Every structure is written in C-alpha cells, then in structure tokens.
Amino acid sequence: MTAISPSIDGVAGFQVAGVHAGLKKDGALDLALVVSECDCVTAGVFTRNKVRAAPVLLDMQRLADNPANIRAVVTNSACANACTGTLGLENARTTARLTADALAISAEQVLVMSTGVIGEHLPMGAIARGIALSSAGLSDDWAAAAAAIMTTDTRPKLASVRVECAGGSYTIAGMAKGAGMIAPDMATMLSVVVTDAALELGELQNALSSAAQQSFNRIVVDGDTSTNDTVLLLANGKSGVHVEDADDLAAFQEALDALTRYLAQEIVRDGEGVTKFVTLDIVNAATVADAERIGQTIGASLLTKSAFYGSDANWGRIVAAAGRAGTAFDPDRSSLWVAAGESPSEPGLQIFAGGMPADYQEADAAAIMSAPAMTFKLDCGLGQGNATIWTCDISHEYISINGDYRS
C-alpha cells in the first residue's frame, strides 16, 4: 500500500505562495501561485459541463498548443470568472500575462484557475496585487497555497508521496479544493499536482486521466458539476528520474492513484455541511460503467443522503436509486449490506436480499449508521462490474451555506 503524507515538505524545482490579494473580505488568503524553475510537461483534465469558465477555456487551449514548457499556475478564489464573456477571457489572459511578467517568463507558460461566484468579473487590481505579492514570496509553504484556493472548504487539502525506483527517488505532491458542486463528471474541483520526475506527455496524460477516473470521478457531495473544474499535473524532471519502462510507469500510476484518491476523499470529508463519510461498494453489476452509474445515482440521491444523516437504514431509497440509474438492474438478484467504517473486513449487516427486506433488527442497522463513517455493499448479481463511490450525507448546514453563498 502506498504511504501518503498529508503534507508537502517540498518538491524539487517547485516553489509556491499563498497570499491575501483582497478578493476575500475577511482578509483570508485568496491567491495561490505554483512555479517551476524549469519547463514542465503538463497534463490536464477539465469539466465536461457545457458552461465553461474563462480560465478553463484558456488552459485547454494552452495545453493543446503548448503542453511541454509550462512554468506556472496562478489560482484565485472568491471569483469564478465564469459566464463573463469576452472581458472574462481577456481578464484570464491578463492574469497570465501579469504572472509571466513577474516571473520573467512568457504568458503562454502560465495556466490560470479560478473558483468562487459565477457571473462576476475578476477585480484585476486585486489580482495584480496578489501576483506581485506571491511572486515575491515564493517558498515551500504549500499549506498557505492550499488555503488560498479554498472557498467553502473548512481546511486545506494537500498530500505527497515519495516513490523509490531503480533510477532513484521522486516526489508526487498535490493540493485540491472543493466542498460543494461536487459530482463525478471530470474533475469536480480544482487541483494542482506536481512531480519532480520526468515523463513523456502521452504517458503523463494517460496517468492523470486514469487516476482521475478512479478518484475525482468517484466522489459525490451534492450532484452538481462546476463550471471551473480543473486538475493539472506538472512534471519538471528535477529529481533526475525518468519514468519510462513499464515497471516504473506502473509504480508512478500506483502512487498517483493513491494521491488523487486521498485528495478526492478529503473533498468528500470536508463537503458542505457533511457529518458522515459514506463508501458505496457496487459489485457484480453488468459492467464497470453500470457499477459507476449506480453508485453515482445512489450517492447523489437527496433521499439516501437524508437517510444517511438521520441514521435511518432505509434500504428502499438505495434500491430505488439503483433502479433509476439507467443501467441494467434486477432487485430480485440484488443484495445489500451495511457496515461501520470505511474499509470493513466483512460486508456487515444484510438489510436487503432477493427483492425483499432481510431478516435484521432495525436497531442494529441504526447503530451502524450512527457511526461517522459507513460502507454499503450492493451486490447486483448480474456480472463482474465493480466500482467504489465515495459520498456523504446532507445536513441542514448545506442549505445554510448555499442559501446565502453570494452574500
């Protein structure tokens, strides 16, 4: 099992900063900068929402044109720069240009990310101030950078892993933000992942796409996909390790999978108003895609999430959600168990079997569901498709947070 550290001590050739530029009224950190001292091969995955923010459009074009010599990523919180038209695109380009000028690189070497309220223009005076401050204060303070990209998050999310191989050792590290508008449709949040290993672009993109599919695409907080979702992976090669042969690529993939899975799960744990972390193990569906779809439908159901919150083992809501997922599903061939914890060694208490309630005591099920973490195993009995989805409950606090998000 890959050992993940919940912190980042430093990655060769990278420096970061997190500053208060003036976008947030409370003086909190609100602009982050990640800089490599040399060119990076860069991969990205982006929202599939048809409404895409200006920075998403800019970054997609930059990576299509210029994926092999990216040097910096600048991220602001408090303003999404989405649905902002021509001016929004120009502001994203200006953000990149100001960053490039401060770092003495070209604008095409800078990627931009934004998060916050949709439909508002970037306050470019504050952006310029934040770029000046952050570029002058670069260090290894990844915690500050991770804090600067938060919106409704309650804590920074960052992690790192050290990988040993025949050619030496290297680090993969990343930070992420996300607490609401979280649903599996590529990215579902913002994340910057860096490594001091060297990889070819095709291998790097394949690794990121695969990791994201097994992590960021397997989480659900509220079923909404943002206009700004972006995950970037930058490789600068400063460790001197070249990840090339099959064994080294497999080790890199394993470590990246573990890192992104950790960050994805942290997003769910810190979801808006979340009180319970829920693992959905969907097994023996007709296909893997079916298993994913069933898990995502259950995970996004307001009825199931309300039951999780109330410690109510209302298996009917789970089965009904599976039945409307738009995939092959036969309740008469299905079984459902619930257990306390995130990775229980046994399936736990069976609460549904063969289209009917199992023989169990309601008090036993309620006791299991009162735990802060629980796991449901749904055996569909149709094939060999398996998938795990991580989700949560929904509480009154979620409504409070989102009822006045813009104020």
Angle between helical axes of 54-65 and 85-103 (0-180°, round to 10) = 60
Contacts of 386 (CB under 8 A, 6+ apart): 281, 282, 283, 284, 285, 288, 291
Q: In terms of Cα–Cα distance, which of 68, 64, 88 is closest to 76?
A: 88
Return the structure tokens found at 85: 């038209």
Mark out the alpha helices in 66-119 (DSSP H runs). Answer: 85-103
Taking the C-alpha atoms of residue 212 and residue 217, their distance in angstroms, rounded to an integer, is 6
* C-beta atoms surrounding 149 within 10 Å: 28
Taking the C-alpha atoms of residue 156 and residue 179, their distance in angstroms, rounded to an integer, is 11
The DSSP H or E segment spanning 161 is: strand 157-165
Q: Which residue has the tokens 């303070």?
A: 141
Sheet of 277-285: strands edge to edge?
Answer: 356-357, 349-353, 335-340, 373-379, 277-285, 385-392
User: 225 catalytic, yes or no?
Assistant: no
Catalytic residue among 115, 151, 188, 225: 188
Phi-psi region of 83 (alpha: psi -120 to 50; beta: other; left: phi over 0): left
Angle 43-299-270 from CA coordinates, rounded to 5°: 65
Enumerate the active-site residues.
Answer: 188
